[in-house]
Chain A
Amino acid sequence: MKPRASLIERDEHLQALGDAISESSDAGCVVLVSGEAGFGKTSLLDTALEILDHRFRVLITACEPIGIPVAFAPLYDLLDELPDDVRRDLRSGAGRPAVNAGMLDLVKNDRLVIVFEDMHWGDEATMGLIRYLGRRISATNSVLIVTYRSEEVDLTHPLRLVIADLGRSAKRIELPPLTPAGVTQLAEGIDIDPVQVHAATLGNPFFVEELLRHPDSDLPPTIGNAVLAGAAQLPEPGMEMLQLVALSPDGVTLDFLISQAPGAGECLDLAIQRRLLVAERGHVRCRHDIIRESLIHALTPVRSRRLHRTLLAHLESEAGVAADIAKLAFHSIGAGEDEKAARYSLQAARQSARVGAHRQAAFHYSHALEFRGSISPDTLREALLEAATEHCLINDFQAASDLARLRLEWTANSVEAARARAWLAYFQSRENDLIACRREACLAIEVLRHEPASEELALALSVTAWVDLVEGDWAAAMANGDEAATLAHAVAATGVEVHAATTAGTARTMVGDPTGLAQLEHAVALGIAEQVGEFAARALNNVGLISLRRGRLDEARDCFDRLIEYALTNELDAWYIAGIATRAWINVAAGRWNDADRDLEAALGQRTCVQTEVESLVAAAMLRVRRGDPGSADLINDALERIEGSTDQELLIIGCALAMEGAWVGIVPVAEAADRYSALMGSATLLQDHSGRAMLAFWARRLDLEPAEGRIVGPAGFEWSGDVAGAVSSWEASGYRLHAAITRACLPNGRLEAVLSELTGMGAEGTLRGLRRELQRRGVRHIPRGENASTRENPAGLTRRQAEVLSLMAAGCSNVAIADALFITPKTASHHVSAVLSKLNASSRLQAVATATANGWTRPGQVIPN
């Protein structure tokens, strides 16, 4: 029998998959199988799983196209296999943490192979589950296999975050296209030119197989035509049956299809025989998504609407599980039934929101709002606020503000409008639009002050306090924040209370008031206990920032680890990315550059707010500058440009520090950095901002600029006051390795050589350059040169050529093979071998290799592959 196209040239990948599964007896793992549509991911899995022994329990499920996003959709296919508690949690919409924990128990207590196919279509609850399980799977003996289409997962795809987060702990198997030789093998015995087939299909195994099945169709063909040609050969009502199946991504029951028209049964049999459809447990679906897509593509609008109606009526007649609401919404939209589309979409949105699947929720809300003509004004106002909140949670602050603004238009009187404005102001604050959000909050406060106390008044006050904080007006931030917190407490608006207390507490800490930290801790505890997700995350974030400002890197990293974990469990993408970005910054500062790089890979390019974006950019630029990588100046400019015009003190300070560091290593004009510095020095806020001043003071010292007015705290303060040794130990204690090293180089008895080699060891090429410049400027002579790779002596006294020969001998090469590898004649090779034997005092090749291996001499040799 001819081999299946999808298994040609897949031996190596099968092997890798098999290895990963068998290694799970030591430690479980995640395997990512990627490849373009039609590259044979499913066939690879089927083959690998077929040969598994009975020790494994295999669960297979798949994600469906985004037409019907449902939280935890793939788990519904596994309901019968799941433990009772997980099933109950899924049905009751208990939310992600419960389901995640239940699934973890499942993989812990059994040897499972769980397959999630087509994760590029995965809902975020399932992605969160994979991330959650993936981080813990090595402690189990189970394997999680995730397949996805590589072409669908671009930089902004949510699956990227998951993949980045799993990092190197996940094993990757990427399926390549077939080679011309592979196509030739398949086309054997068919009257067709394999070269042309390869060219037309680019080696896509699915396309190759389809083409070879219909060798008469014209070349170059479109695959859609090949599929449709097969479908067209079915008797009536074959095409309609196929399209009904295609419109229901996870398939329909055989009984339903047979009841649709006389002769349907025969058509289905034929379609299954011709490998267009597959049937399993009374369920029929398309064999491959490419087939499904081709069939849908060929649908006329009228027929599509009619078929959607049929499917909708069918679904409505069945008592369904929770997952069905999203399907009802999908078919209502397709059927053009506006009222149902609005109603079902809204239900689906609320259901997703309840289980914390915010991306899905936002998606369904958008659909529901498209049909807002069919929604009553009261419901619409509610839905708009809910929709804005969901968008906010997935980092789409602009959409959140737009929805809040739309809600404002739908208000009936001035009080309602003021309430809507308070929320609008909040979403604008998340967008970091300081001016707009202060304006809206003020307008809201003006009206709401004359009304009975309300959550919205507290919110507007709290937003105002936030703007005060960001702009550095700490007294106002404390006053407004405290008032908002008291008010929110009185009306039992816990979320707002946490928001306000966080702001007031942060402002207090800024001016060195010790009660600030207690207020912050209280906000964290309250937020976590009352589960006001977003607000609790912000409180955690600020506690971390405070540690950072006090120069405690380790403590700050712990805080952000906690935030990241919290955001992960509660599906708070915005805070997850914000946490990662800050952790990247911390890791750069602490000299943990590979960790920083990993964080940056996850954070950069994600949709996020300005603060987080700038923070990641600055961290990325710092990393490049310190490593001395090319393009540092460009990255610095990108970061500074993004800060341009901002009134956010924090951003201005980190931007200025970056410019100064750039000037120190010689890639930013010193005058430009000095200008930024003196502009900031003139601002009133910096006078109160101890930590900001301390941060800049370090670089000012390096560039011989005047220190800021007022006392300088922390390590830089020691240095400015002349206590360089104190500065060094203080930097070390805070965890700033690089700062410590640079300062140590300025010690009078500074062991310059040790500092330079420490920096070399860190890979701080750029910093080394800066330090050399500074030392030269200070008139230090005899700056040791960097380490150079020395030419090593061969301990056995072998010549370079002889060492090479020895390596080849160790690799088991014959004289002829050695000759080939070194471009010499076999005779010369044998001379070299004899010389090696005599120098090693060995009587045979084996003995020589043994001696060499025992002494570790085989490694120095090298061979450039032919």
Chain B
Amino acid sequence: MPRYLVERTFPDGLLVPPGPPGRKLLGSIIACNSDRNVTWILSYVAVDAAKTFCIYEAPSPEAIRRAAASNNLPVDRITEISVLDPYAYHVS
């Protein structure tokens, strides 16, 4: 499955409440994603919470956009990516 970097902007900042409400929110996002065969691997969040950089596995960019639409999440840009391990070329 291809991997994608998804950039999102949250003009008012992203708020994930702590505790059970947060778990429920993320849980519903994960469930909605899985409807479309989309897997959220992890996200990096800008310190001002206005931008997120999320790593996803998905069958197509459309699948990511559809999942985002169902989850009410914005999408700025989707880039297909691969992993470069800085130590992959390290000779031991």
Q: Which residues of A contact B (CB under 8 A)?
A: 168, 172, 174, 594, 597, 600-601, 620, 623-624, 627-631, 763, 765, 789-792, 800, 807-808, 811, 813, 817, 821, 858-866
Closest Cβ–Cβ distance, residue B74 to chain A (whole Å): 9
Q: Is the CB of A792 within 8 A of B80?
A: no
- Give residues of chain B (36-79) contacting chain A, Cβ–Cβ below 8 Å: 45-51, 60-62, 65-66, 69-70, 75-79
Q: Is the CB of A620 within 8 A of B50?
A: no
Q: List 15 A-B contacts (CB under 8 A).
A: A174-B35, A597-B62, A629-B65, A630-B78, A789-B11, A789-B50, A791-B50, A792-B48, A792-B50, A807-B15, A811-B21, A859-B13, A862-B14, A862-B15, A864-B16
Closest Cβ–Cβ distance, residue A716 to chain B (whole Å): 29
Q: Which of B15, B51, B75 contacts A789 (CB 8 A)?
A: B51
Contacts of B47 in A (CB 8 A): 800
Q: Is the CB of A865 within 8 A of B77?
A: no
A320 to B11 CA separation, bound complex (whole angstroms): 66
Contacts of B22 in A (CB 8 A): 863, 865
Query: Known: A817-B18, A865-B26. Contact between A789 and B61, CB under 8 A?
Result: no
Query: Known: A628-B77, A811-B18. Contact between A600 and B45, CB under 8 A?
Result: no
A168 to B76 CA separation, bound complex (whole angstroms): 22
Q: Is the CB of A172 within 8 A of B35?
A: yes
A77 to B60 CA separation, bound complex (whole angstroms): 42
Contacts of B69 in A (CB 8 A): 594, 597
Question: Of B16, B21, B60, B62, which is in contact with the most chain A CB atoms at under 10 Å from its CB?
Answer: B62
Closest chain B residue to A628 by CB distance? B77
Q: Is the CB of B31 within 8 A of A800?
A: no
Closest Cβ–Cβ distance, residue B27 to chain A (whole Å): 9
A620 to B66 CA separation, bound complex (whole angstroms): 13
Closest Cβ–Cβ distance, residue B15 to chain A (whole Å): 5
Q: Is the CB of A865 within 8 A of B18?
A: yes
Q: Which of A168, A597, A813 contacts B65 (CB 8 A)?
A: A597
Tell me how many residues of B have a C-beta within 8 Å of chain A: 38
Closest chain A residue to B4 by CB distance? A630
7 closest A-B pairs by CB = A630-B80, A862-B49, A629-B61, A860-B13, A789-B50, A821-B18, A811-B17
Contacts of B14 in A (CB 8 A): 862
A168 to B69 CA separation, bound complex (whole angstroms): 10
Q: Which of B18, B65, B70 contacts A808 (CB 8 A)?
A: B18
Q: Is the CB of B9 within 8 A of A789?
A: yes
Closest chain A residue to B77 by CB distance? A765
Question: Of A627, A789, A861, which is in contact with the most chain B CB atoms at under 10 Å from its CB?
Answer: A789
A168 to B66 CA separation, bound complex (whole angstroms): 11
A765 to B7 CA separation, bound complex (whole angstroms): 12
Contacts of A859 in B (CB 8 A): 12-13, 15
Query: Known: A597-B69, A630-B80. Contact between A864 and B45, CB under 8 A?
Result: yes
A817 to B47 CA separation, bound complex (whole angstroms): 21
Residue B19 lies at the interface, judged by CB distance under 8 Å to chain A: yes
Closest chain A residue to B12 by CB distance? A859
Q: Is the CB of A601 within 8 A of B45?
A: no
Q: Is the CB of B23 within 8 A of A865?
A: yes
Question: Of B4, B19, B78, which is in contact with the most chain A CB atoms at under 10 Å from its CB?
Answer: B19
